[in-house]
Structure 1
Amino acid sequence: MRQMISRLEKTTALDAVSDRLQSAVQAVARPKRLRDLLHGTWLGHPLHPVLVQVPVGAFMSAAVLDALPGQRKAATTLIAVGTAAAAPAIAAGWVDWSSLSRDQRRIGLIHATANAVALGLYAGSLVARSSGRWGRGRLLAYAGLSVAGGGAYLGGHLSYEQGAGMNVAAPEKLRLPADWAEVGEVASLPEGRPTVRTIDGVRVLLYRVGDDVTAMVEQCGHQGGPLGEGEIEGSGADACVVCPWHGSTFRLTDGVVQHGPAAGDQPTLRTRIRDGVLSIATP
C-alpha cells in the first residue's frame, strides 16, 4: 500500500487533469468570503474534516442498522442524510485541495475520486431500496462504505504524511528557546514595517508599533511561504501581512488569520523589552 501511494505521489500524468481542475475550482470560489467560509478561516480550523463527520457517521450507522432485523427504514434514512450531507463536505474539500502543492493534489485527486465512487454507490443503494430491492441496496451500501474507507485512508495520508491542512509553522515555534533570547535594540527595528531576524535557525517576523513589538514565526502556517516577502495591507495596529505563495493574510499585531487558505492563526511568541533591548521566548 505504501509503495502504491508513493508511486501515486510521483505520477505526473495526473497533473494535466489536476491543473485544469485547480483553475476551475479557483474560478468558482473566487469570492474571498466564500473561500474563507469553506477553508474554515472563521472557525480557526479547517472546515472540511468537520463537515465530513456527518456523512461518515451516517454511513457507518447505516451499516450497523443494515445488519440488524427490522431496521430497513432507519438505515435508508441515514444513507439519505449522509448522501445529502456530503455536498458541503465536498465543496470545502475541493477548495482546500485547490491551494495544495502539486504532489499533494495528486493524492487528493485520487481521494476525491474514491469518495465520488462511494457516493455513487450510496445513491444507487437509495434507488434500489426505493424500488424494494433491499438486498441489492444493502450490497451497494456496503460496497460504498468499503470504497469510502479507501478514500479515507488516502485522506489520512494526505494530512498526516504530506502535511496538507496542518499548521506547518507550529514545529518551527518548538525550535525556539523557552527562555528569553535577546534579539537586539528595539530602536534598530523599523516603525510600522515588518522585519525578519533569525534565532536558533528559525526565521522570526518582527513588527514594531511605537514601543510595542510583536513576534511571530515567519514561515506561513499554510504551506510554509515566506511571510517576510509578503505585501503589507493596512497600517498601524490594523496592518496585515499577505503570504506571497497563496494569499493567506495575518494581522501583524497578534497573528490572527484574516483570510485563507490558512484556517488557523500564525504562531506568535512572547516579547519583552528591557533597557531598550528586545527579547523573545516561546509562549
Structure 2
Amino acid sequence: MKRLPGLKVMDRLENFSALDPLVNTARSLVERALGPRWLRDVLHGVPLGHPVHPLAVQVPLGAWVSGGVLDLVPGTERPARILVGTGLLGALPSAAAGYADWSKLHEQQLRVGIVHSASNVLATGLYAASLVQRCRGRHGSGKALSYTGLLLAGAGGYLGGHLAYRQAAGANHTEDIPHRFPTGWQHLAPLDELDEGTLGQRVVSGVPLLVHRRGEQVDVLADTCSHLSAPLHEGRLLDGSGDGPGDACVECPWHQSVFALGTGEVVHGPATAGQPRFETRIVGEAVEVRLPHAG
C-alpha cells in the first residue's frame, strides 16, 4: 500500500533546519520557565513511569470532541460551553507537560514538536475565542470557531502521533534488551581489568553494558539510556542524586537523566523508564552478569 502524500511533508519537516532559530529560542524560554527539578520530574512523568503528556491531552481533546457533538444537537448550548471551558482548563497542564518533554528531544523531534505546539496553541486560541462568543450569546460564530479549532487540534494530534511512534519520543529505548540478552550467567570481564570508581563500558552478546566497580562490588546497567539512547558510560558519576550524599548515580551525557547505579531506577528525568539492571557475581577472577527474566 502506498504511503499518504502527507508523510513526505513530515519527512521534510524533520530536516527543515530553517525552524532551528525558532526552536532554540522557544527551548531556552521553556527551560527557564519550568522551575525546580522536582517539578520537571513531575511534568516528565517520573512518578508515573511514563510521560504525562499523552495522558493529559485526553482531557482537552475529549472535552472538545464532545462539545463538537453537542453543537450538532439543538438546545445544548450550555453544556457545550462548559465542555469548551473544561478543554481550555485541561490544555494548561497538558501543555506544561508537553513543553517539558519537548525541551529534551533531538533536533528532528524538536522541529516536528514546534509545529505540533503551534497547531495546538492556535487551536486553544480559537477555543478561547469560541468561549467568549458563546458567553456573549453568539453561538453560531462560537461553533464555527470551535470546529476550526478542532481541525487544528486534530492536525496537532497527528504530529504528536508522528513524534511518539515514528520518532519514538517518550518511548523506552531499552525495552528490547531483555529480549536480546541471553539467559543465564555470562562472562563480563576479569575483575582486575575493571577500573575502580569510574564508568566503563563492556559489550556482552552484542549488548553494551555500563560497568561501575567499587572494590568487589560491580554494578552493571544497560549502557543505552532509556530516554533517547545516549551512551551512559560517557556521562557523569554522581554521589546520590547530585544533591547530597547517597548511593552512586550516573547522569546521562545528552539530557541529564539520572539513574541509581545500584538499582537502575530513575532519580531524575526526563527519562521515565529505569535502566535494566544486571545481577553480578565473581567466579574465580572473573565477573559474570545475568539479566533477570532475559529471553
TM-score w.r.t. length of structure 1: 0.91
1:206, 1:213 within 8 Å by CA — same for their partners in 2?
A: yes
Task: Indicate which of 177, 180, 187 corresponds to 2:182.
Answer: 177
1:56 deviates by 1.4
Q: Does 1:252 align with 2:261?
A: yes
* Counterpart residue identity of residue 247, structure 1: Q
Partner of 1:201: 206
User: Alignment identity in percent?
Assistant: 43
Q: Does 1:263 align with 2:263?
A: no
Residues of 1 paired with 2:107 and 2:178: CA distance?
A: 26
Correspondent of 1:216 among 215, 221, 225: 221
Please say which of residues 114-123 and 233-242 is displaced more in the overlay: 233-242
Q: Please state how far the C-alpha of 1:260 moved relative to its aligned partner.
A: 1.2
CA–CA distance in structure 1, aligned partners of residues 140 and 30 of structure 2: 38
The residue that corresponds to 1:60 in the other structure is: 65
Residue in 1 that maps onto 2:98: 93
Which one of 240, 249, 258 corresponds to residue 240 of structure 1? Answer: 249
Instruction: Judge conservation of contact 1:241–1:251 (CA < 8 Å) in 2.
Output: yes
1:24-173 aligned within 5 A: 24-173=29-178
CA distance in 2 between counterparts of 1:170 and 1:211 reads 29
Secondary structure (helix, strand or coil) at the match of 2:38 reads helix
Matches of 1:124 and 1:177 in 2, distance apart? 58
Question: Structure 2: which 5+ residue stretches go unaligned?
Answer: 1-5
- Native 8 Å contact 2:249 2:259 kept in 1: yes
Q: Per-residue deviation at 1:175?
A: 2.4
One-letter amino acid matched to 2:275: Q
Report the residue type matching 2:80 in the other structure.
Answer: A
Q: Which amino acid in structure 2 is aligned with residue 207 of structure 1?
A: H
- DSSP-derived class of the 1:228 partner: helix
CA apart distance, 1:67: 2.1
What secondary structure is seen at the aligned counterpart in 2 of 1:170? Answer: coil
Residues of 2 paired with 1:66 and 1:24: CA distance?
A: 37
- Tell me how far apart the structure 1 counterparts of residues 71 and 152 of structure 2 sit (CA, whole Å): 17
- Provide, for residues 238-269 of structure 1, a one-character-per-residue CA deviation record: whole Å limited to 9, x for no partner: 11001111111000001111111112212223
Q: Following the alignment from structure 2 to structure 1, what is the Cα–Cα distance between the partners of residues 62 and 219?
A: 43
Contact 1:169 1:266 in 2 (8 A): yes
Q: Which string of whole-angstrom CA distances, capped at 9 and with x for unpartnered residues, describes residues 31-76 of structure 1?
A: 2222212111222211111211211111122122222233221111
Q: How far apart are 1:279 and its partner, in Å?
A: 3.0
Judge conservation of contact 1:38–1:92 (CA < 8 Å) in 2: yes
What RMSD over aligned residues (CA atoms) do the two structures have, in Å? Answer: 2.1
Structure 1 segments of 4 or more deviating over 6 A?
Answer: none
Shift of 1:8: 0.8
Give the whole-Å Cα distance in 1 for the aligned partners of 2:9 and 2:190.
54
TM-score, with structure 2 as normaliser: 0.88
By how many angstroms is 1:191 displaced? 5.0
| Conservation of the 8 A alpha-carbon contact between 2:239 and 2:249 | yes
Give the AA of the match of 2:239.
G
Q: Distance in 2 between matches of 1:33 and 1:88?
A: 16
Superposed displacement of residue 179, structure 1: 3.7
Q: Contact 2:51/2:170 (CA < 8 Å) preserved in 1? A: yes
8 Å CA contact retained: 2:199, 2:234: no
Instruction: Extract unaligned runs of 5+ from structure 1.
Output: none
- State the secondary structure of the residue aligned to 1:207: strand
For residues 61 and 209 of structure 1, the distance between their equivalents in structure 2, rounded to whole angstroms, comes to 58
Whole-Å separation in 2 of the counterparts to 1:30 and 1:269: 35
Between 157-166 and 232-241, report the one with greater CA deviation: 232-241
